[in-house]
Amino acid sequence: MQRAKLAFVLVTAIDMRYPAVITIGSYEISLTIAEISIERLRIIERLAKTLALGSDTYRSGRISAEKTSILLSYIEEFKLKLKEYPTSDLVIIASSALSEAGNRYLVCEQIRRRFGIEVLLLNKNQEMAYNHLAVRGAYANFQQAAAEGLLIFEIGYGSVQLSLYTEGELCFSQNLSLGTLRLHERLRNLAKTADYADLIKEYIAGDLQHFQSFAPKKTEIKHLIVTGSSVSNRFVVSAPEEHTTLTLADCHSLEQNLLRNQDYTSLLLPTVTLIEQAILFTGVEQAILFPAVPADGVIYQLQQTGTIEQLPTTVIEEAISAAKRIAARYRTDKRHVNTVVRLALCIFDQLKSLHRLTDHDRLLLEISCNLHNIGKYFSMHDDQDISFALLQAMELSGLSDEDLSTIALLVRLHRGNFYTDSHYCRLKPAEQIRLTKLLSILVLANAADAGHSRKIRQIKLQRRGKYLDFKLFSGEDIALELHALKREFPILTDLYGLEVRVKQEKYDE
């Protein structure tokens, strides 16, 4: 009886997983340990060591050997700490201080050699996505706020990210280099002046105006969530009663307190000033504070998908939604784009057994389809080059630099003749093959709507021996599309060694 009881206990306890995330931030190195099951996510430990890597990167562009050594020793300490729990996964992520450092790969290699773990260098998009995930996990009314008009104002040490949600979707996002440590580094010589707070405000105001000029007009912001690594409950502690909101008056009083106490002026003052400015320009009564950090988002992702490789649905939706908004901003032909997306995904799904690409590749394909014509807003001739340049600087929630690079290349090369393209040629063989597989689908989908008239309603693919049969379902004359498609079929032959046959089938409504 006793044994049976124990066995039950062990089985249920094993259902729990204990992932851990080490975050290499700009100002501190932190460890987050969580307990997750299908039903529940609980952060069970959060600890940090101060290490201002950001001051190295933002001043000299590289992480010093001394700080690298300290960083390694802190990771070592965290590894010891993890022995206190039955830790299941350990993920190391790095924010801008390391991601932007010139010697980032060398530092990462040292970590890999010593601990056997690859560092996930987060770009702004990924940081933003993980922060949004964290906020979603922490704020029960997120969906309602996003539907009513919500600005998430993430204050990091390196940058500030503004993300605007309307009608439940992310509609605009902008990163500004106004992180607290960055501000401090830039304005440190003025820190002792009496009007330091005003100087910060002045410095911030310019960039915030820039955001306003680009943000969608006629958007009412009813909710302001302030989050990010620079935001903490320290503000709340000094408030008279426990709460997690700040009004303009609170900000002002905190600002005065901080100015009186010179010890606290370094990073907290820029943070308070940023919050104050955010309240002012959104016009909300109060900011809701969430000390959420990207690590929480990673934990949430691990709970949702079981792996760091796979993005959670919400991130995918946000990325696609952002791509659609960008496409709209550059006035692309919405109906054509939607057709290309539909057909491309249809081809992707039917060729799975041949291409063996991942769900993440499918997402990149979908985004590329959405964005494949954005350069035409500027020029009808070199539009792919313009698209390429635009996409490399684009902010797409949750996507890594490699992802953005893949999307940019797909868009650049989708007009064919890519074998001689210099960017394509520089790719490693495996990358070339992956990119070509994705590219083949994009160009086929695009060709299938060559006349932008959505004549092909459906495509069915079937492999028969050495043939790959295309059945195009349409009730109209598709001579133009057939011509365009036939021109692109050689890619498929090059990729899979199959001869492509094509046939039109009547589309029955």
| 9 is a site residue for another protein (CB under 8 A) | yes
Residue 497 has a CB neighbour count (10 Å cut-off) of 9
Task: Find the shortest distance in angstroms from Cβ 195 to another protein.
Answer: 28
E strand spans, 37-167 = 41-50, 90-94, 119-121, 150-155, 160-166
64 burial type by CB count under 10 A (0-12 exposed, 13-18 middle, 19+ buried): middle
291 near another protein (CB under 8 A): yes
CA-based nearest residue to 69, from 51, 55, 81, 82: 51
476 membership: H or E segment, kind and range: none
Which residue type does 379 have? S
Helices 359-371 & 429-448, crossing angle to 10 degrees? 50
Q: Do residues 436 and 444 touch, judged by C-beta distance below 8 A?
A: no
Amino acid in the structure at residue 349? D
**Least gap, CB of 242 to another protein (angstroms):** 9
Q: Minimum Å distance from CB 83 to another protein?
A: 6
| 8 A C-beta contact, residue 354 and residue 342 | no
Coil/strand/helix, residue 333: coil
CB of 310 to another protein, least distance (A): 24
Q: In this chain, which of 16, 147, 427, 495 binds another protein, going by CB under 8 A?
A: 16
Residue 256 binds another protein, judged by CB under 8 A: no
Q: Lay out the site mask for another protein across 32-61 (x = CB under 8 A, - = otherwise).
A: ---x-x--x-x-xxxxxxx-----------
The site for another protein, by CB under 8 A, has a size of: 28
| Residue 24, beta-bridge partner list | 29, 94
Which residue, 237 or 380, has its beta carbon nearer to another protein? 237
Q: Which residue in the set 2, 3, 4, 13 belongs to the binding site for another protein (CB under 8 A)?
A: 13
Nearer to another protein, 36 or 129 (CB): 36
Q: Select the residue interacting with another protein from 1, 2, 4, 83 (CB under 8 A).
A: 83
Bridge-based pairing of strands 160-166 and 169-176 is: antiparallel
Q: Which of 21, 23, 24, 28 binds another protein (CB under 8 A)?
A: 28
Quote the DSSP letter at residue 487: H
The minimum distance between CB 238 and another protein, in angstroms, equals: 9
Task: Give, as ranges, the residues between 86 and 145 that touch another protein (CB under 8 A).
Answer: 86
The smaller minimum CB distance to another protein, of residues 240 and 429, is found at 240
Give the binding site for another protein (CB under 8 A).
9, 12-13, 16, 18, 28, 35, 37, 40, 42, 44-50, 80, 83-86, 232-234, 236-237, 291
